[in-house]
Structure 1
Amino acid sequence: MSDLQRRWAKAKLSAKLPGFSEADEEAEEDDQMSPLERDRSTRSTSVSSGYSGLLEIPDDDSSSASSSSVSSTGTVIPSPARALFARPLAPSGRSLDPIPWTTYFERELFLPSETTPGLTHHAYLISPVGAKGPLFVTHHGAGSSGLSFAVLSSEIRKRLPTAGILSMSARGHGSTVTPEDPVNLSLSTLSSDLYDVVQLARRAMGWAELPPTILVGHSLGGAVVTDLAYSGRLGTQTLLGYAVLDVVEGSAIDALQSMQTYLSTRPTGFATLRDGIEWHVRSRTIRNSVSARTSVPALLVEKQQSDEGGERPWRWRTDLGATQPFWEDWFVGLSKKFLEAKGGKLLLLAGTDRLDTELTIGQMQGKYALQVFPEAGHFIHEDLPEKTAITLVDFYRRNDRSTLVLPPKVSELLAQGKRV
């Protein structure tokens, strides 16, 4: 009410109610305030600890504001001084702490090479269940590690509980011990390493034979799994198919021209491990914070204080700039091998603009399955692990030969006295 109305009402009430005071007037006015006005008047009052636990912000970036809700397990009567439905600030509620590999895998394997002295392959494993459980064998891109597929592995198991996942780290990546310097990262070497890891893991786990296998590779890893499938070393009975994530020959070779420019804009190091995780999320290099918290720690290594590093001791484990001599070797001829190798073929892309001419023609001819996730970045399997898992599980089921029912042979029908 206006000052004139307030003075008039005060004079009237004072005449009728001698005990009426100015404090009573303010209390009465406060009781008549709307909830919005009362909230504005008490905005400086903080929410008590008893209510702060009821309002949580999901860690996943894809969650909307409407996902927050107040618990209905008890009756809560807020006082006028408590802004019960106020939303906390997002930055303070989001965790960037690293997530250990044990959250997703059952064991890690250290597999000494039988062909290269001093080389010890490192891989993470979820064992397949039963005799018919498939094995997804994954290979990461340049600069990544086996943990790049950690969250995806969990999503695959949710949809296919019998599946196993073997996720390796290449030479010069992750925890794989590499004696050579400089590291040999030629395509033929990486392809042989992938084959060796599969066979060494089979022996280490005591498997009589390899389970039905699906190869999955991202970026450089896509070229590696394609080369191994093209070589036929795993055999057509074992290898059901292979999936390539966001890499095709034409666009990959074009992108190599600007690779050094990209590397020059990337931070050379980070003050803490959390800073490294935060940079990957904020720069949208990895758009899923849970996956970043799992995979990024394996990409960095803490240098000793005596080393050159200053205030940023956490440096990149893999020097991508030093791999330049191998870049062209990785991708030349990729499209041809992808289309000609035996087994089911799946290509997952973040945009149709990445298709080159040869793959466009092959797709129109139905030579492979194509799935596009335009909302994802380059790290499709980390940005959208659920959708990628659904696609991979469907791909396996379409190529699973154990479900095939073959018609009886003519000789068997004749032996049973049936007409043919």
Structure 2
Amino acid sequence: MLNSRVRPLALLLCTLFTLPADAGPNDALHLYAGVSYGHDDNLLRVPDDAPAFDGTRADSWWQREGGLIFDKTYSRQRISIVAKLSKYDFNHFKQLDYDGKDVQATWFWQLGNHLEGKVGTTYEQVLAPYTDFASNERNLRRSRSQFAEGAWRFHSSWRVRTGFQRDKYDYELFAQRYNNRTEDASELELDYLPSSGSTVGLVARRVKGTYPYPRPVGPFLLNDNFTQDELKARVLWLATGSTSFDALVGYTRRNQPSFGTGRTSGIAGKVKATYQPRGKMTYTAAVWRDFAPLESTVVSYTLNKGASVGAQWDATAKIKVNADAVYERRNYNARETFARLGDIRDSIRTGSLAATWSPRPTVHVTAGLAHQARTGSAVLGTGSFKSNSVTLSASAQF
């Protein structure tokens, strides 16, 4: 019998070398299959000073997935469908075993030479992260989205675009049902499209969030409903042949009763830079300041400030190596419930390294390492933790 640490590698290699031939490049329908193995030395993100569930922090898991990919253009109309089913089996925490689902369907439509857009829907069922939730119970998160947008290029250098999207989230566990929500986002955008290929636009956006269950915090019941209005500049600047900047930055005003006095405003957005000199390296960097949701029993949103750097090395035609580092500071300071109780900020640092071998264009074998650490907040009960993980995966499209 193979050693338990050897079996994952053996299965990945067997999966790779017994795959059928690639599908033709013009085929609309492709089948997808994959298998992966992972190990995390702190799977449930248990704080350093807290006892581990069942006396153990580490666990390993297997993932097997399969599905289909359909992509075909009929005249000027393109239909794209991705449907995948996956199964996760954990070695120790068996109660976390679950079936994952991922469905995406989009119609990219075009009328004449000046009108285009897309209409679609998505559905996803995954295990919610344990970063901000202390439990060893299974907590599935189901998310559904419907979206529609249209753009009219009324001049060779000008375009107007409008869109609407509804996102709905619900959680399996009763303790997490206070994070169930529906978010409706509508936006209107005017873009200037110079001949250089860059884009400059102005985006007006409104997001309305509705939480069906008030959040209990001590003796209080918090209403997490919110309305967020944004006016931002969207810029894609192709500075040189090797350098580009992608930014969405502007003014955001958020009205949320459970967040301080109910209104928070200021500069928010994200700026990303990409540098790809001649050769085998690509570098990226980004900074952001924005609101973000989280799966917590205490709060629903934080105001985050973060930065990231990354690099990709195309070692050979078939091997790529990626390295990324992310730092994010999460600020809960406006929460009136926690006023004057002390520092209610925490930070998360994440680093990852992955190598991918593609012996054929539709076959990929990936090995990855990741490290995550949080500096917690005693007031919020988010303790400091560290986590290290390794993953091995093989996938094919045929």
Highest RCO, 1 vs 2 (Cα 8 Å, sep ≥ 6) = 1
* TM-score normalised by structure 1 residue count: 0.25
* TM-score normalised by structure 2 residue count: 0.26
More helix per residue:
1
Larger Rg: 1
